[in-house]
Structure 1
Amino acid sequence: MRLFAAEWSRLFARRFTRMMFLIVILLLALIGGGIAYSSHVPTDAARAKAKVEADRQRAFLTQQRARCEEAVRNPRPTPSPGSTAGTEPGTPGTEPGGPPGGELGPVSTPPPGVTCAEYFNPAEIDDASFLPSTFGFAREAHDLVLVFGGIFAMLAFAVGASFVGAEWSSGSMMNLLIWRPRRILVLLTKLFTLLFGLAVTGALLAAAWVAAAYGIARYRGEVGRVTQGSLTSLGLDTARALGLALAAAAIGFALASLGRHTAMAMGVAVGYLLVIEVGLNIVLRLTEVPKVERWFLSSYVQAWLDKKAQFVDFTPCRYAEGDCAPVEWSISMDDSAVILGVATLALVAVSVIAMRRRDVA
C-alpha cells in the first residue's frame, strides 16, 4: 500500500501529467464551445420550412423511382453513332445546356443488385436534414464520446510513456529499487497505479463531457428522444472509449520501459503511423492486396469504438472488362478486442521480462 500511495502521489504531482490533462480539458472546451456557437434552437417556422423542402425532395424521388421502374420495364434502344433521332429542334430535353428528359433530367438506373425502390427511397429523406445546424443529444452524443475517446487515448499514451520513461532517464528508477528491490512488483505497481488513475480521471472527464453535451442540447439545440436503452448504449460507448485509452496507456508504458526513455515510446508511435499506417497502406493498395484494412491497428480501433467497421474491397473489380464485383466485409468488436488485447498484453509481458533480466543502472 505504501508503494501504491507513493506512485499515486507521483503520478498526479508530475508537471507533464497536469499539463496533458489541462490540454485535454482545453481541447474539449474548444470543441464544446464551437458546437454551442454553431448550433441553433429549431423554431416552428424553421421546422415548417424544412418539412416543405423535405416533402419536395420526397416527391422528386417518387417521380424518379416511377421513371426508373418504367425504364427497367421498357428499356429504350441505344441510338447508333451518328443518329439524329430525337435531336430535332424543339424536342423536349434537347435544348442546348439542358438535361435530356425535361425538368426531371435523365433517367438514372440503379447498379446491379439494387432495385429502383432502394435506389430512390423517399423514406430516407428526413426533415431534420433541412433544418439549420442543430446539435441533437440523442443523435450526436455517440460521436462526441468517440471524439473524447480519441483525445483521451492520446493523453493516456503520452502520460503512460512519461510516467515510467522519465524515471528511467533521470535515474529515479534505480533509487526506487533500492527502497523496493523487487523489480517486477515495482513495475507492475506503477502500471496498476497509472491505469487506475487514468480510469478514475477518465470517468470523471467523460461524465463531465456528456453532461456538457446534454447542456448544449438543452439550451442551444434539442435533446431528442432519450430512452433507457440509449443511455445504456451511451454508457457502453464511454466504457469502450476508456478501455481504448487504458490500452494506449499500457502500450506507451511498456514501450518507454523497454527503451528506458519517453522519447522511445513517442518515436515508435510516430514511426508506426508514418511507416505502417501511411507508407505500408499505400504500398498494399498499389499492389492490390485484398482486404488491406485488416493489416492495420487503426481499423481495429475504429471497429472497437463503433462496435463494427464496414469495408468494401474493390480488388476483384476488373474495370477494363466492364464488370465489378466488390466484396463487402467487416471487422467486429470482438475481433478488435482480441487483436488490441493481445498486442497490449504482449508488449507489457515483454517489458516485464526485460525488467527482470537486465541491469537497472
Structure 2
Amino acid sequence: MSLYTTELRRLGKRRFTRYMTLIGLLVLAAVAVGTFLTNERIGPAQRATAERQAQAEYEQQIRFTEQERVECQRAETAGEPKNGRWPEDCAQITPPPRDAFQAQWYLPSTFDFRENFGGVLTTYAAILVLVAFVVGASFVGAEWSTGGMMNLLLWRPRRTGVLLTKLAALLTGVAAVTLLGTLVWTAAFWAVGTFRGSTEGMTGGAWQSFALTGLRGFALVLVAAVIGFALASAGRHTAFALGGVLAVAVVGQFGLGIVLSLANAKFPEAWLLPTYALAWMSKQVKLENYQACNYSTVSGCQPDTLTITWQQSSALFAVGLVLALGAALWGIRRRDIA
C-alpha cells in the first residue's frame, strides 16, 4: 500500500478529524436552519399586512404631531419657555408626508437567493477555513508529539517526500469535504430561497459569479489547511500552530486595531487580516476615513477611501503560504528527527 493511501486512510480514521468535521457541519446546519426559520416568502398577505402597518405608523405620527402642536400652543399662550422643545412658530410642527412610511420597510425578512447567496458563501468559507486549519495542524502535529513521525521516517527516510505526501493526503480530504459541502450548501439555500424567499433573476452570469466566489472560498480553505499543517510541522506540535494563530488574533489583530484607532490612523482596517480575507471573497473592500473631507460642489464632503482588491489579498496569502511551507520543509531537512 502506498504512503499516500495510508496517510489518506489515517486522516479519515482520526477521531479529531471526524469530530472537527462534525462540529463544522453542525454549525453550517445551524446557519442554514436559522436562515430558513427567520425568513419567509412574501406574498399578497404579507404585503397587505406591511401596508397596514405603514398606515398605522403614519396615523400614529399624525396624532403625535397634533399633540405636540397643542402643547406648543398651550405653552405659548401661558408664556412658558419652550426650552428648545418646540419651534418659535407652532405652525411649523407638521406631520411627515405619507410617502415617508413605505410598506417595504415593514415586510418580513425574506431570502433572495441572487442577492444573498454570495454572503452565505463567504460564511461557509469562513467556517471551513477554521476547520481546515485546525485539522491540518492536528494531522501532522499529533504525529510529531506522539513519535509517529520518527517511526515513519525509519522506513521512509526521505523526509521531504514524507511531509509532502502527508500534505497531499490532507489536501485531498479537505478538498473532497469542501466540494461536497459546497454542493449541499448550495442546494440547502436554494431550498431556502424556494420556500422562504425568492430564486428569481438567476441567470448564467449570476451562477458564474457564484461559482467564482465558491472557487475563491475553496482556495482559501486549502490555504488555511496548508498553513496550519506547515506551522504545526515547523513547531513539531499542534499547539504551536494554534498558539501562533491565537497570538496573531489577539495581539496582532485586536491589539493592533486598538492601537491604530487610538493613533487615529487613516485606515486601521487595512492592517487586519480579516479585511484581506473579505476582499478575497468579495473581490474588493472599500475602506473609508470619515475624519477627512474631500469637498465637491456636487456631492459635498466626501471621506477618503482606500480599496483593497483580491489581487492584493492573493499576494499576501501567497507570501504567507510560501513562508510557512518553506519553514516546515527547511525544518524537516535541517533538524534532527528526535
2:111 partner SS: coil
Q: For the structure 1 residues 130 and 138, does the alpha-carbon distance in structure 2 shift closer, same or farther, using more than 3 Å as the test? A: farther
Alignment equivalent of 2:276, drawn from 273, 293, 300: 300
What CA distance in whole angstroms lies between the structure 2 residues aligned with 1:13 and 1:187? 19
Aligned ranges 1:1-361 → 2 under 5 Å: 2-48=2-48, 50=50, 97-98=85-86, 101-103=92-94, 129-314=105-290, 316=292, 326-361=303-338
Question: What amino acid does structure 2 have at the position aligned with 1:46?
Answer: Q
Q: Which runs of 5+ in 1 are unaligned?
A: 58-86, 106-121, 318-322
TM-superposed CA distance for 1:259, in Å, is 1.0
Whole-Å Cα distance in 2 between the matches of residues 325 and 220 of structure 1? 39
What amino acid maps onto 1:219 in structure 2? F
Matched-pair contact (CA < 8 Å) for 2:285–2:309: yes
Instruction: Decide whether aligned partners of structure 1 residues 56 and 343 sit closer, same or farther in structure 2, where only a CA change above 3 A counts.
Output: farther
Deviates more, 1:262-271 or 1:293-302: 293-302
**1:229 to partner: Cα distance:** 0.8
- C-alpha separation in 2, matches of 1:54 and 1:199: 49
Q: Alignment partner of 2:40: what SS? A: coil
Matched letter for residue 135 of structure 2: V
Looking at structure 1, the residues matched to 20 and 14 of structure 2 have their Cα atoms a distance apart, in angstroms, of: 10
Cα 1:7–1:43 shift into 2, 3 Å: same
Preserved contact between residue 40 and residue 110 of structure 2 (Cα < 8 Å): yes
Q: Is the 8 A contact 1:139 1:224 kept in 2?
A: no
Query: How much does 1:49 deviate?
Result: 5.1
Deviation at 1:294, TM superposition (A): 2.3
Give the letter aligned to residue 20 of structure 1: M
Q: Deviations over 1:229-269 (max 9, x none)?
A: 11111111111111111111111111101111111111111
1:119-165, CA deviations, whole angstroms, 9 ceiling, x for partnerless residues?
xxx9xx99755421212212211111111000000000000000100
Q: 1:53 to 1:198 in 2, by over 3 A?
A: same
Distance 1:49 1:316, change over 3 A: same
Identity of matched residues, %: 39
Distance 1:316 1:137, change over 3 A: closer
* In 2: Cα distance, 1:56 partner to 1:332 partner: 46
How far the C-alpha of 1:215 sits from its partner, in A, is 1.0
* Distance verdict in 2 for CA 1:141–1:171, change over 3 Å: same
| Alpha carbons 2:139, 2:229 under 8 Å: kept | yes
User: For residues 293 and 309 of structure 1, what CA distance do their matches in structure 2 show?
Assistant: 10
Q: How far apart are 1:312 and its partner, in Å?
A: 1.0
1:59-118: per-residue Cα shift (whole Å, max 9, x none)? Answer: xxxxxxxxxxxxxxxxxxxxxxxxxxxx9769xxx898457843367xxxxxxxxxxxxx
Q: Which SS does the other structure have where 2:306 is aligned? A: strand
Q: For structure 2, which runs of at least 5 residues remain unmatched after alignment?
A: 58-74, 294-299
| 8 Å contact kept, 2:230–2:325 | yes
Partners of 2:172 and 2:336 in 1: how far apart?
28
Note closer, same or farther for the CA distance 1:146–1:342 as it changes in structure 2 (3 Å cut): same
Cα 1:128–1:346 shift into 2, 3 Å: farther
- Give the TM-score normalised by the residue count of structure 2: 0.82
**Across the two proteins, how many residue pairs are aligned to each other?**
307
Structure-2 change in CA distance of 1:221 and 1:256 (3 Å): same
| Two-structure CA RMSD over aligned residues (Å) | 2.9
Q: Does the CA contact (< 8 Å) of 1:289 and 1:315 recur in 2?
A: no
Matched residue SS, 1:355? helix
Q: How far has the Cα of 1:306 moved from its partner? A: 1.3
Displacement after TM superposition at 1:195 (Å): 1.4
